[in-house]
Every structure is written in structure tokens, then in C-alpha cells.
Structure 1
Amino acid sequence: MKKNILYLHGYKGSLTPSKQIILEDYGHVVAPAIVYDHPGYFRKLTVLASSADIIIGSSFGGHTAHLLSLLYNKPALLFNPAFVTKSPVPDLSGLAIPKTKTSHSSIVLGKLDDVIIYKDNLKFVTNNLHLEDVRIIEVDDLEHRIPDDVFAEQVAVFMEART
């Protein structure tokens, strides 16, 4: 069954056409252009996240996807999520974002990431995320940017586990 997929790009990024094609094999893709420096970006994304079946994000989009997946208890696939950055900070005022959820999360961490430092991110994930169903995938030769082959492989594994 085709899914509604919400894809959240990284800071000043976008969903590449090749990754869009990969995701379209699994469902209808919504990939909004996000200005993370705009204070209201998170509220706008809540509308899209509420109707998504799966939320996928990369870098700062991974951090945002995690928060939205907690808010709506949705499965999430996060690539090098920016858990250990200081800015931008989403406006979460008035939102009751739980610390845990029961739906699955997969977190792909590149050991060669020099933007979101792998060891710092792994430490944060291990010490701060209290998810019932989480899979941490550590990729030895992965940097911050996700090559299409790695993206396709991780999306396939994630989607296969969801069916």
C-alpha cells in the first residue's frame, strides 16, 4: 500500500530529484521548501505531519522530523539528524511534545559526518532519546550528505519493515 510520505530537507537544502524518484516508489511525497530561520516554520509543518504516514528527514530536517514524529506518534527515518546543533531553534511554545512514542524510528548516522559530528550525535541519541522502537544504523564511510545509493538502501529497509 502506498504511503503519504513527508520529507524534510536540511538547512538551506531541498529534496533532490533523484531522491524524490526513490521515495515515489513507496508513496505520495510531500517535500515542502522550508526556511528554518523563519520562526513559524514548525507550526506550518504540523499540518503536513498530521496527515503523513511516515516522516523522513535529513540533518536539521531529521531533527524536525523527530519532533513531529513524537508529536503525532509517526514512524520516522532520520539521516544524520541535527540533534547537537544550537540553531535554528523551532518554536514549540504551547505544544505538548511527548518524550516517547510507540511508532518506529530509524536513525542513520554517518561516522565521517563533519557537520553534525557523529560521536556527539550518537551520544545524544543514546543518552536522550527514550524511544520504545528505535534502530540506530551507523555507516562507516558516510559523510553528512547522503548519496543516492545509501538513501535508497535505507529507505528500502525502513519501508520493508513498515509493511
Structure 2
Amino acid sequence: MNILYLHGLQSKLSSNKRKILEDYGSVFAPDIQYENKHIQAAEILKDFTDTEFNVVIGSSMGALNAYIISENIGRPALLFNPPLQKYEAVKCESFYTKGLASKNIFIGGRDEVVDPSETLKFLADHIQQSDLHIDIDSNCGHRIPVDIFSNQVSSFFSSICN
């Protein structure tokens, strides 16, 4: 299984979280500079024209791009605190046969960077319930602790592999 992981603004995939993901497949985690351009879904996919991804996972700004990529390539996505209110429709050139793509979204109820209510409003306006699983942790902020990351990843892969 090929996993595309997109980190957040001024962040990287930690070795602990990479190890968790590697239990499920090969991890592709490009280094992305979001400072001048938040949405880079098309550019990200252009760097992987010979790789077929089975799932897309992202955190914060990476989750926004993962959402857009998931919509374009029809692959399931696990999104941590995505700033979906910044969403812009982007058409990505790809070789994928687009299909129904489920979304698992984790929202930290105490997120001080991405307003949880704005994310929920976007989801209410744009996503069909049947394609969506939302998990809100009222005690979690913007940064995702390793134990929560591990539990969310496990739950995500259990839901798509059964």
C-alpha cells in the first residue's frame, strides 16, 4: 500500500509518526513549502507521476491539500485539523480512475490555529454524510499527540480495509 502523507505549515513528519504509518505501507512524505502558496495539490501529484497512492493522509495545511488530492484521485483520506475554509477547487491531472472517496476527519476541539467550527461548517455545506467520519476530541489542540495519531491511523485503516 502506498501512503501519501502531507505535513502541515512549518512542520515535518516525525520519526515516531512515520514508524506508525510504515506499519501499513510505503510512506511518501514530500517536503512542502506552504508559506507562499497554501494549495499545492496539483504540484504535489506532479512529483509522483509514477506512483499510485492508495490513501492520502495530512495534517493542518497538509490535510487541506490531502482533501483536494483525495477528491481528485478518488482515494480515502485521513485528515487532522484541516483548514477546509481555505478550500479552492483544483483540477489535478492524474491517471487515477476516480471513485467514491471516504474521508475520516479528526478535529481538536481546542484547536487554536484552525477554528473547529469553521471546519464543521464547511463539512456541513460540502460533504455527504455517507462519505464522512468525523472524530472530535474536545481536549485536543492543533498538535496531534502520537497516541491520538496512532489510534486514528489504526481506526482509519480498519475502516477502509474491512
TM-score, normalized by length of structure 2? 0.85
Distance in 2 (alpha carbons) for counterparts of 1:160 and 1:130: 21
Count of aligned pairs:
154
Call closer, same or farther: CA 1:116–1:19 in 2, change over 3 Å. same
Greater than 4 Å deviation, 4+ residue runs:
none
**Given the superposition, is the C-alpha separation of residues 118 and 63 from structure 1 closer, same or farther in structure 2, using an over 3 Å criterion?**
same
In 2, Cα distance between equivalents of 1:132 and 1:74 = 15
> Which ranges of structure 1 fall in alignment gaps of 5 or more residues?
none
For 2:65, the equivalent position in structure 1 comes to: 64
**Partner SS state of residue 84, structure 2:** coil
Say yes or no: does 1:135 pair with 2:136.
no
Q: Distance in 1 between matches of 2:92 and 2:4?
A: 20
**Equivalent residue runs for 1:32-47 within 5 Å:** 32-37=30-35, 41-47=40-46
| Bigger mean CA offset, 150-159 vs 103-112 | 103-112
Identity within the alignment, %: 34
Structure 1 contact 6–52 (Cα < 8 Å) conserved: yes
The one-letter code matched in structure 1 to 2:153 is: V
Work out the CA distance in 2 between the residues paired with 1:22 and 1:38: 30
2:151 counterpart of 1:153 = yes
TM-score normalized with structure 1 length: 0.84
Structure 1 position 112 matched with structure 2 position 110: yes
Q: 1:101 & 1:133 partners in 2: Cα distance?
A: 11
- Per-residue deviation at 1:103? 2.0
Calculate the aligned-residue CA RMSD, in Å: 2.4
- Given the superposition, is the C-alpha separation of residues 158 and 95 from structure 1 closer, same or farther in structure 2, using an over 3 Å criterion? closer
CA distance, structure 2, for counterparts of residue 91 and residue 129 of structure 1: 14
